[in-house]
Every structure is written in C-alpha cells, then in structure tokens.
Chains A and B, each alone.
Chain A
Amino acid sequence: MVPGSFPHLGRGLGLRREHYREVIETGPDVGWFEVISENFLGPGGNPRRVLEAVRRDYPVVLHGVSLSIASTDPLDGRYLAELAALARDVEPAWISDHLSWGTAHGINAHELLPVPYTEAALAHVVRRVQAVQERLGRRILLENPSSYLTFRDADMAEHDFLAELARRADCGLLLDINNVFVSAHNQGFDPHVYLAALPGERIGQIHLAGHSEEGGLLIDTHDRHVRLEVWRLYAEAIARFGPRSTMIEWDEAVPAFAELERELERVAHWERVGLEAQRRRHAA
C-alpha cells in the first residue's frame, strides 16, 4: 500500500439529522462529511434525497457500524450488497467500519463489541477484511475501538493487532484519537506507545470526539467537546504522521451547527500545533 491511497480532504464533520436542512440550504465551509452507511442503505426516499443533495456539494465518506468484521457469524451478503450499491451511487472517498463485532448466532446486539487480541482472532479478521475488500472492490478503513475491558485470553496489544491486521489484510486505518485515550485509561496502556506502534502510511482518517467519566472508567459518549488531553494526543499524531483528514463526531446532545464549526477551528489550531512539533522534530 502506498501513502496517499486515501485522499486528504481536510477537516470534516459527521452529518447528523439535526443539521440536514442547514447543510443543504446554507452550504457551510466544511471540507467533507462522513455519513453513517446504515442510515442510507434504502433504495430511495428522503434519506437518499438528503444524501444526494449533500453529495452534490461535498466529498462524502461512508462510515458503517454493522459490518461486524470480527464476528464468527458468516458475513452478511445482503448488507454487503446494499453497501456496494450505496457506494456505486455515492462514490465515497472511502468506506470505513470498526474493529469490532455485533452479531453472534444471528442475533445483533447493535453494539461495537470488543475483540480478543489473539493470533486466532487476527487470522480470522484478516480473512474477513480481505473478503469484504474483494466484495466492495476497494480497500476499507477499520477504526480502533473504544474499549472498556481486556479479555483474559488476549496475548497481544491492541496496537500490534491493528498494525498486523492492516499489513496482512492490506487495509487502511481510521484512527480515533478519543478512542485511544479512552481505551488507554480503561485498559491501562500508554497512548504514546500506541501511536508510535501504528503504521502511519495506512492511516487515512482521524476521528475526534468527547467522552465522559463514570465510576473508574471513561465512556466514549460523543456528547461534548473534545477534551484537552485528546487535543494534545491529536497534535502528537499529526506530528508523527502528518496531516490527515480529520473530523468531529458528535452524536448525542447534538449542538447547533455553529458550535461544530467552532470545534473545527480547534482542529485547525491543534493541527498547526502538531505540524510545528513535526517541523521542530525534523530540524533537530
């Protein structure tokens, strides 16, 4: 895989129902939009009408929540066919989903459940990513999960699992910086070691979001501003990997669109911080 396989689109936002009308009618200065694939899989009607209107003015990427790439159930042929049809219509810059699973024995929990980081699981997921990429005719990006547990059977670190998965399956990575921070706290790993272990050339997109604290755990709630520690980790990622298409995810207690635009200004600021650090690093 060569660097730049996924285009650099600048700063984007997750497109949410609350902002459909404003985005279509006012054409805000946003680089691109990420949409949840499952919300637009139907053959037409209002969801497709909205997506087509947005797509006329902006690059769009598809982000799925139902691929269930690590499940031991068979891949869902109907879902993949619908996703392929949506991609043909929308021509997204890329398609992504999560390193997780949500179905077992035909039952869908509609949750991004965690993967045991073992060699057997790695081999299983690699084969499934290859099958999906063949079906879709393109590389996909897989997102590092927010996680609240570690399996007793795990015998490798999450960052090693992701790096090896991307290499063996020849797929890209969607780096969710907030997820790194949340999982590092919950699982007790070092987020800086995590970033250093990732293959930067495979990172096509970055997610940023807010999180909350409940009891002793951090929860990936997507319901508030990005926290300072996460911004700092983002700057470190930019310093390490260079600029990447970056977006804000805000899914609960969704604020006015203007608030999201201000959050994008913060993305620009912390990107500059990261690039300055990169410049100093190269000069040293």
Chain B
Amino acid sequence: MRPEPSPSVPPSLAGLQRALLALVTGREAPGPELRADALVAGDSRASADERIAVYAHMVRTRLAEALASQFPRLAQRLGAEAFGELARAYFADEPSRHPSLRFVGARLPGWLAERWPDAPVVAGLAALEWARADVFDLVDEPTLTLDDVRAQPPERLGDLPLRLVTAHRLVTVARGTATWWSSPDAEPAPDKRAALEARATEMLVVWREGTSVFHRSVDDPERAALALAAQGTSLGLLCDTLSAEQAEADAIAEVHGWLSTWLAAGLLVAATA
C-alpha cells in the first residue's frame, strides 16, 4: 500500500532518530557523532549512557518477550538462555518492520530453516506455532454442518461446494515436529543421521473450534483433498478426482470419511457464506 502523504521532514530530527535507534537497538556501530553523551544530557541521577541503556533494555526485553509469547513451546524446548540468544540473532537479521508486535515472529520459521538446516524440527515447531497463532486470530465464518449436507437433494449432492474456512493452515514441516510439539522428550538427536531422516516431511492441518486451536497430521491423499478444498471444489469433483486413482466405491468411502471429519472440525465454509 502506498504510504500516507507525509509532510517534509526536518533533517536534524531524522538524523537524531537514526542515531537514537542505532544506540537502543545496537544495529549500527555508533560513530563519534552517535555517542550517547553527544545526544543526551547526563546528570547526578544517571549518565547519558545509563539513560540510553534504559531504552535499550526495554527494546530487547519487549521483543524477546513478544517472540517467546508467539513461540511458547519452542522457547520452552530450547530453554531461556538458548531462546534468548536465538531472539538476539533473529532480530539482528530480521528487525521488525510491522507496526504490531503480533507479527515480529512472522519470519522466524524461514529464518530457522536457513540458519539451522541440521535441526529442521526446530524450524518445523516454529512453523507449527506460527500457524496456530494465525488460526487463533483469523476471521470467524459460518461453517457447513451435517444438517446442511443432509438438506441437499440427493441428485444435487455432487454440486455441494467444499471450501475450507479462512481460519485454517496447511503446513509442511519436518517429520517429528508434531510429536515434539506434544512431547518435549521426543526431541530428535541433532546428529547428521537424524537430520537426514528429518528431511522427510509431514503435513499438518491446523484449525480452530471455538476458542481452541487444534492440529493433526494428514496422509498424502487427504493432503491432496485438502489442497483442492482450500481452493474451493465440490463434493462431486472431489470424488471424480479420487476415482481416477482408485475404485469408485473406495473413493466415495474415503471422501465420506474425510467429509465427516471436516464437518465435525468446522473446517468447511457454509454453502451460503
């Protein structure tokens, strides 16, 4: 989006803000003109450095706490010290550019995948937690119910639209991620062999029921069906797609099973929505 029109900026004010931001975030090595005592007056209560340090501490603490609140299980699994180190490194590479603290962790899963390639479940756990946070916040929609399906005339059942609600996520993560999410003792050993094995992936669907967020693993056929439903399909098209790969009766039985599960979870948008 185009920025709001902004009046002309006093250059000295811009320079001062750049200098103070550098001092409180430590993002640039301050030059002589960026010394705290060149900007700020110290006195008997506190020196200029001590006054700047109050803001620097608040910035570090606020960002680290926000990140830990967005990735509570990752923070717990890694421990306070390691997670604190991770937060410092992450924000050095990926400073926040969004007005809301809610989004400071948006790039953490991708950053972990690049920085810690030998521990893919760490990035996986971050991706899962981020998806769960998203789903918690996403919009409410009327959902398709079993009664809606039963009300569909049998001859038009194939036309029943199937579209996943906005408040869902399909995430592909390293195998073992879901297990590590639910059990801290299930952390894979961080050796080469484990890393190679962990390059195998699993897909998780994340959804919300009321105020609770859930996730579960899905197999390849359901993964493909969910991908179709995410874009919007119909019951008939889903059955036709599956029938191309297996006997029609088996396909219908499989779709029936998925439909029951998806309806119970509130994963489908009401046909009239």
Interface residues of A (CB under 8 A from B): 38-39, 41-49, 66, 68, 71-81, 101, 103-111, 113-114, 116, 118, 120-121, 123-124, 127-128, 131, 135, 148-153, 185-186, 188, 214-217, 219
Contacts and interface: CB of A to CB of B under 8 A. Distances in A.
A68 B99 contact: yes
B1 A77 contact: yes
Interface in B40-72: 40-41, 43-46, 48, 50-52, 54-55, 58-59, 62-63, 66
Contacts of A124: 7, 9-10, 13
Interface in B7-46: 7, 9-10, 12-14, 16-18, 20-21, 24-25, 27, 38-41, 43-46
B20 to A, nearest CB: 6
Given A42-B137, A42-B138, A45-B136, 5 more contacts: A77-B1, A111-B24, A120-B13, A128-B7, A150-B40
Interface of B: 1-7, 9-10, 12-14, 16-18, 20-21, 24-25, 27, 38-41, 43-46, 48, 50-52, 54-55, 58-59, 62-63, 66, 95-102, 104, 136-140, 167, 208, 211
A39 B102 contact: yes
B166 to A, nearest CB: 8
Nearest to A115: B13
Contacts of A215: 45-46, 50
A41 B4 CA distance: 18
Given A45-B138, A66-B100, A101-B17, A219 B4 contact: no
Contacts of B96: 107-110
A45 B140 CA distance: 5
A47 B137 contact: yes
B48 A131 contact: no
Given A75-B4, A110-B59, A131-B4, A41 B100 contact: yes
Contact of A128 (B1, B6, B20): B6
Nearest to A127: B7
A48 B141 CA distance: 13
Given A111-B58, A127-B7, A106 B1 contact: no
Contacts of B208: 45-46
Contact of A120 (B6, B10, B44, B102): B10
A110 B104 contact: yes
A135 B1 CA distance: 15
Contact of A110 (B14, B50, B62): B62
A49 B140 contact: yes
A224 B97 CA distance: 32
Given A44-B138, A128-B7, A109 B21 contact: yes
B10 to A, nearest CB: 4
Nearest to A107: B95
A214 B24 CA distance: 18
A220 B189 CA distance: 44
A69 to B, nearest CB: 12
B3 A107 contact: no
Contact of B13 (A106, A108, A116): A116
Contact of A151 (B40, B58, B136): B40
A48 B6 CA distance: 31
B98 A108 contact: yes
Contact of A217 (B27, B39, B40, B45): B45
A118 B11 CA distance: 13
Contact of B21 (A105, A149, A152): A105
Contacts of B136: 45-46
A101 B104 CA distance: 18
B66 A110 contact: yes
B6 A131 contact: yes
Contacts of A48: 139-140
B137 to A, nearest CB: 4
B3 A75 contact: yes
Ranked 10 nearest A-B pairs via Cβ = A44-B139, A216-B45, A74-B3, A66-B99, A75-B4, A127-B7, A149-B51, A120-B10, A72-B14, A74-B6
A107 B97 CA distance: 5
Nearest to B18: A104
5 contacts: A38-B100, A46-B137, A75-B6, A109-B59, A216-B45
B118 to A, nearest CB: 30
A191 to B, nearest CB: 15
A81 to B, nearest CB: 7
Contacts of A43: 138-139
Contacts of A74: 3-6
B9 A72 contact: yes
B44 A216 contact: yes
B251 to A, nearest CB: 35
B46 A216 contact: yes
A46 B211 contact: yes
A48 B100 CA distance: 16
Contacts of A186: 45-46, 51
